[in-house]
Amino acid sequence: MKVRMGEIGDMVAEMSAAELEREIASPDKLRIWEGTAGWRNLQVAWAPFDTVENTARIAIFGVTPGREQMGNALRAYHKARLCGSDHLAAVRYGKGTGAFSGEMRDTLIRLLDEVSIPRLLGANSSLALWGAQAKQVHFSSVLRWPVFCDQKDKHKILQPLQNYTGGTPSITAQRIFIGMLKNVLVPEILSLPGDCLIAPLGSAAQKAMTYALSGFSGFDRKRLLIGLPHPSGAARDVSSQFLGDPPSHTRTKPLNPAYREDAMRLRRQVEGLIRADQRPTCLASDTSLNMQRQI
């Protein structure tokens, strides 16, 4: 597939509010790819998450924007275009509004605070990453655009085109996903500053990031912050254990001390950078690689 961002953005700008809501609920004009994986239908839709923050000191990657984040970003983009902003300015506004929006943002702020990210960036709280410190963070996903996938609920009833979580089908086994990882994610990472920390959230994003970077032997692994949970509601118990919250009286599974150990290890890693007053080095960006949109 080929994503012509300016053209699709102009199309969004011309939509009515009602038409935009229909597209968020069930992408048609915004659908940029569709296919199958076994019995599952897969769909990729466009949303304004395309900019790269080239002054970032940390890049935070989820799996893929969910429908809530897609909707928040598109509404903000649409509003900005109606107010006269050009495509790029509207994308920046839409992405800033939609990135890790909803309840997960509060959890993500707590996770980043727990491992001393504000101290690294000279901020009081990770909340500043959506405000005064926005130039120091790059928000993204290993699959940049929203991906939806058929799922079955606990009663084995088909739920069509739900948010893809990165587990089934495997994020490293589908041709469309591999193309997005190699042709979109890798150039994106190489376009970031050489000292920018890379923080994939949750096991699926970490698996995808490791797979995508596997061919770059010179990549400095000190850049990677491996072990941060995904802040989604589905991983709430993992985040709670990572943060050291008191166990809920409703939990049924035993505590896993590895989650809290991950938090302590990542805090030591970040505080080591702070004490050394230096940033990790990495493989210089390959200027021969551009931001392809071919998959």
- What confidence score (pLDDT) does residue 6 get? 82
Given strand 158-163, what is the order of strands in its sheet?
Answer: 31-37, 40-45, 147-152, 158-163
Per-residue pLDDT of the chain (295 residues; tens, 9 = 90+): 666 778 999 999 999 999 999 999 999 999 999 999 999 999 999 999 999 999 999 999 999 999 999 999 999 999 999 999 999 999 999 999 999 999 999 999 999 999 999 999 999 999 999 999 999 999 999 999 999 999 999 899 999 999 999 999 999 999 999 999 999 999 999 999 988 999 999 999 999 999 999 877 667 778 899 999 999 988 899 999 999 998 777 777 788 999 999 999 999 999 998 887 554 444 333 333 333 334 4
Q: How many CA atoms lie within 13 A of 107 on its CB side?
A: 23
- What confidence score (pLDDT) does residue 222 get? 82
57 CB contacts (<8 Å, ≥6 apart)? 120, 121, 136, 137, 193, 195, 196, 197, 279
User: Is the pTM higher than 0.85?
Assistant: yes
- What confidence score (pLDDT) does residue 79 get? 98
- What confidence score (pLDDT) does residue 294 get? 42
Which DSSP category does 249 fall into? T
- What confidence score (pLDDT) does residue 218 get? 66
- Comparing CA positions, the residue from 34, 54, 63 lying closest to residue 46 is 34
Q: By the 8 A CB rule, do 64 and 142 touch? A: yes
Between the alpha carbon of residue 43 and those of residues 34, 101, 194, 198, the distances in Å are 4, 21, 33, 27
- What confidence score (pLDDT) does residue 2 get? 65
Q: State pLDDT tens for residues 176-215.
A: 999 999 999 999 999 999 889 999 999 999 999 999 998 7
182-187 long-range Cβ contacts below 8 angstroms, 24+ apart? 182/212, 183/292, 183/293, 183/294, 183/295, 184/144, 184/291, 184/292, 184/293, 184/295, 185/142, 185/143, 185/144, 185/209, 185/212, 186/212, 186/213, 186/216, 186/289, 187/289, 187/290, 187/291, 187/292
Q: What is the CA radius of gyration of the chain?
A: 19
